C-alpha cells in the first residue's frame, strides 16, 4: 500500500482509507455485523490500510463503538479520524463530545479530530431544531480555541475540518489554528473541489481526505439504470429534486450526463479488465493532492476488491478519457461541493 503524508503533519496514511459510517448498523446503511467489522479492520491493517474515518453522528455513536471494539490490541497501528457534529460545537458540548468519542473508541487520544461541517446557521439547522443554537451559534474562534485546548491536553493529536470551502478555511486560519486536513467529497462525478479548494489546500499544506469515492454506490456498476437508485441515495444534486427522499436542493440534476459517464466507465473497465469499482477508486487515488481516499467495506471480499485500486496505475490517456467524459457533469453541477443543498444557498463557501 502506497502511503502519503497528511499535509504538514507526521501522519503517514495509506492512499486508501476505511470509511466506517456503516459500522454499528443503522437506518441509512442497514445492519452490519461486528464479526464482519472485526475481520475487515484486521485485514485492512494487514494490507496497509491504516486510516479509519468515523464520526459521533454515524449511527448515533455506534460506529465509534464498533471501531473501538475492532481495534482492540491493534490501536497503535491505526490512525483514527473522528468528527464533532456542528450542532455540538459550543465549547462545553464540544469537550463533552470529544470525551464521549474517546470512551466509545476505547482510546486515550484521537489522531485527527474534525469539525464535521462549518459554523453557519444552515449547517447547524441541518442537525438541530434548537432555535437558540441556530440563532446564536458559537464563533469560529470559540470552537477552535476549545480544539486547541483538547490538543494541548493530549486528547487529540491534530485538528481538522470537513466540508469547508476557501472562505471558511480562511476563517479557521484567522484563529491561528493550522488545520491538518480538510475532508471533502471527491469522485468522478463529484469534482467540484478541483477548481479552488484543492489548490488552496495545497498552497497552505493542508491535507485532503477524499470521501464518497463511489458516490454512495452509483459508481459501483450495480445500477443498470439511475431509476434503480433508492430514494435515500438519490438526494444529491446529481439527481432531479423529485427523485430523492428528503431532497432539499431543488435542482434538476445531471442524470443524462451521469448516464454517459457510467456507460463510458463501464466500457473502459472492460477494456482494462478491471472491475468498475477498482477503476473509479484508482482514478481518485491517482490525484496526488488527495492524501487518502476513504471507502466503506462491509466484508473482507469487498475490502479485497477495493484494495486492488491501490496497485492500479492508470495511463495518462485513460485519465484524460475519464476526465473528459465526466467534465459535463462538473459543468452541470457547478463548483459547489455541497451536493445536498442548492448551489446558491449551501453550507460550503
Q: Which of 58, 113, 186, 339 is catalytic?
A: 58
| Catalytic site includes residue 223 | no
Beta bridge mates, 222: none
C-alpha cell at 96: 463533552
List b or e across 155-177, with b for residues whose CB sees 16 or more CB atoms inside 10 angstroms. Answer: bbbbbbbbbbbeebbebbeebeb
d(CA 86, CA 150): 17
CA distances (Å), origin 268, targets 85, 149, 209, 275, 325: 39, 50, 26, 10, 11
Collapse the DSSP code of 39 into the 3-class scheme (helix H, G, I; strand E, B; otherwise coil) and give the result. Answer: helix
Q: Are 80 and 107 in contact (CB under 8 A)?
A: yes
Helices H, strands E: what count in the chain?
12, 10
Q: Hey, what's the cell of 71?
A: 481495534
Residues 184 and 162: their CA atoms lie apart, in Å, by 6
Pairing state between β 3-5 and 12-14? antiparallel
Report the alpha-carbon distance of residue 224 to residue 166 in Å, rounded. Answer: 37
Q: What is the DSSP string of 146-206?
A: HHHHHHHTTSEEEEEEES--HHHHHHHHTTT---SEEEEE-BTTB-GGGTTHHHHHHHTT-
What's the length of the chain? 349
- Active-site residue list: 58
Amino acid at each position: 500500500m502506497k502511503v502519503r503524508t497528511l499535509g504538514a503533519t507526521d501522519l503517514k496514511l495509506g492512499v486508501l482509507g476505511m470509511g466506517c459510517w456503516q459500522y454499528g448498523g443503522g437506518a441509512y446503511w442497514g445492519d452490519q455485523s461486528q464479526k464482519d467489522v472485526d475481520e475487515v479492520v484486521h485485514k485492512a491493517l494487514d494490507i496497509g490500510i491504516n486510516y479509519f474515518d468515523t464520526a459521533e453522528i454515524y449511527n448515533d455513536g455506534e460506529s465509534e463503538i464498533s471501531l473501538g471494539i475492532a481495534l482492540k490490541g491493534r490501536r497503535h497501528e491505526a490512525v483514527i479520524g473522528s468528527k464533532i457534529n456542528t450542532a455540538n460545537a459550543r465549547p462545553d458540548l464540544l469537550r463533552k463530545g470529544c470525551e464521549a468519542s474517546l470512551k466509545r473508541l476505547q482510546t486515550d487520544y484521537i489522531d485527527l479530530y474534525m469539525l464535521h461541517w462549518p459554523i453557519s446557521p444552515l449547517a447547524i439547522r441541518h442537525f438541530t431544531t434548537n432555535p437558540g443554537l441556530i440563532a446564536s451559534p458559537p464563533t469560529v474562534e470559540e470552537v477552535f480555541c476549545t480544539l486547541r485546548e483538547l490538543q494541548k491536553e493530549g486528547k487529540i493529536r491534530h485538528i481538522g475540518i470537513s466540508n469547508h470551502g476557501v472562505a471558511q478555511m480562511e476563517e479557521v486560519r484567522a484563529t491561528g489554528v493550522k488545520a491538518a486536513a480538510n475532508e471533502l467529497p471527491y469522485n468522478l462525478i463529484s469534482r467540484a473541489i478541483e477548481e479552488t479548494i484543492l489548490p488552496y489546500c495545497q498552497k497552505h499544506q493542508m491535507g485532503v481526505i477524499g470521501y464518497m469515492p463511489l458516490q454512495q454506490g452509483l459508481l459501483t456498476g450495480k445500477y443498470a439504470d439511475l431509476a434503480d437508485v433508492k430514494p435515500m441515495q438519490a438526494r444529491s444534486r446529481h439527481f432531479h429534486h423529485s427523485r430523492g427522499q428528503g431532497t432539499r436542493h431543488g435542482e434538476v440534476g445531471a442524470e443524462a450526463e451521469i448516464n454517459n459517464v457510467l456507460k463510458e466507465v463501464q466500457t473502459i473497465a472492460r477494456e482494462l479488465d478491471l472491475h468498475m469499482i477498482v477503476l473509479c477508486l484508482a482514478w481518485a487515488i491517482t490525484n496526488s493532492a488527495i492524501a487518502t481516499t476513504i471507502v466503506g467495506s462491509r466484508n473482507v471480499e469487498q475490502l479485497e476488491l477495493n484494495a486492488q485500486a491501490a496497485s492500479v496505475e492508470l495511463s495518462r490517456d485513460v485519465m484524460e478519457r475519464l476526465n473528459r467524459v465526466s467534465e459535463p457533469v462538473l459543468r452541470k453541477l457547478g463548483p459547489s461541493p455541497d451536493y445536498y443543498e442548492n448551489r446558491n444557498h449551501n453550507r460550503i463557501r
